[in-house]
Chains A and B, each alone.
Chain A
Amino acid sequence: MSGKKVREGSFHLVGGDFTKAGVASSELKSILSGLGIDVKLVRRAAIATFEAEMNVIIHATAGMMHYAVSDEQIRVVIDDMGPGIPDIDLAMQEGYSTAPDWVREMGWGAGIGLPNMKKNSDEFKVDSVVGEGTTVEIIIKIKEGKAIEPK
């Protein structure tokens, strides 16, 4: 963890529970706003984590979202017990999706979730083991001058 730690925590994610889908990202967004982080950075973090959360809801049985905020960065790790991604390079291509039709009818599964997470992150990593699960790491740097005061 780089920088002085300000806050950390985690949320449980339940696969298939569309009524709760987005709750974790929404709460994290409130926490980041409450820490006084620049709104543009908060928005990027919220979008990236929401996409990751939706992937867990759509594809996995369960997952966790861990966040750690320092005066230098926002780091969020989302890991799941899911099917895993056989070909990460392919999954990173815009438009590639394995989401079923009923998920698409709800407005998801366009195949741009992973590329969009990367777009909104300063550092982005995906690790996956087929049959076990996937871990996504999102890091957003808190720029100089926008640094937050540790509480």
Chain B
Amino acid sequence: MTLKRLIEILDAEVILDAGDPDIEIQAACSSDLMSDLLCFAAKPGSVLITGLINPQVVRTAEIADLKAIIFVLRKRPDKDTIELARAKGIPLIVTPLSRFTSCGRLYVEGLESCTEETK
């Protein structure tokens, strides 16, 4: 799905517009543990859904080639975090939904997990 469509599904607000809203999002990952993301977020081109709002979230997204960050429960990062995301070209999005509901809605709409899950 496109980033634009994802934003509609999550009733979300774009707080940092850093690129093309029509980019194709392949998958999503959701965690508040940055190490888990670095270890298990195996597919580049994914979005991150998180409740953490510190600058390391942006660093992690940059290092792991994630395409956008969605903050849940109306959490807003501080100015430094937003500036870092601007410098790195990573869009920031805020949804009023919880992590669970955000993931549920996107899953129903066909978005895949970015983790290579072992069955």
C-alpha spacing A77/B59, complex, angstroms: 20
Interface size on B, residues (CB 8 A): 21
Contacts of A106 in B (CB 8 A): 34, 52, 54, 56
Contact yes or no, B59 A108, CB < 8 A: no
Residue A12 is within 8 A (CB to CB) of chain B in the complex: no
C-alpha spacing A26/B65, complex, angstroms: 11
Q: Which of B36, B52, B64, B65 has the most CB of A within 10 A?
A: B65
Residue B13 is within 8 A (CB to CB) of chain A in the complex: no
Question: Which of B35, B52, B59, B80 is in CB contact (< 8 Å) with A110?
Answer: B35
Q: Closest CB-CB distance, A107 to chain B, in whole Å?
A: 4
Q: Return the chain B residue nearest A57 by Cβ.
A: B56
Chain B, 56-86, CB within 8 A of any chain A CB: 56-57, 59-60, 62-65, 80
Q: Given A26-B62, A46-B64, A107-B33, 9 more contacts at CB 8 Å?
A: A26-B63, A26-B88, A51-B38, A106-B54, A107-B35, A108-B34, A109-B35, A110-B36, A113-B35
Q: Give chain B's interface residues, CB within 8 Å of chain A.
A: 32-36, 38-39, 44, 52, 54-57, 59-60, 62-65, 80, 88
The 6 closest A-B pairs by CB, nearest first: A22-B59, A110-B35, A107-B34, A116-B39, A46-B63, A50-B63
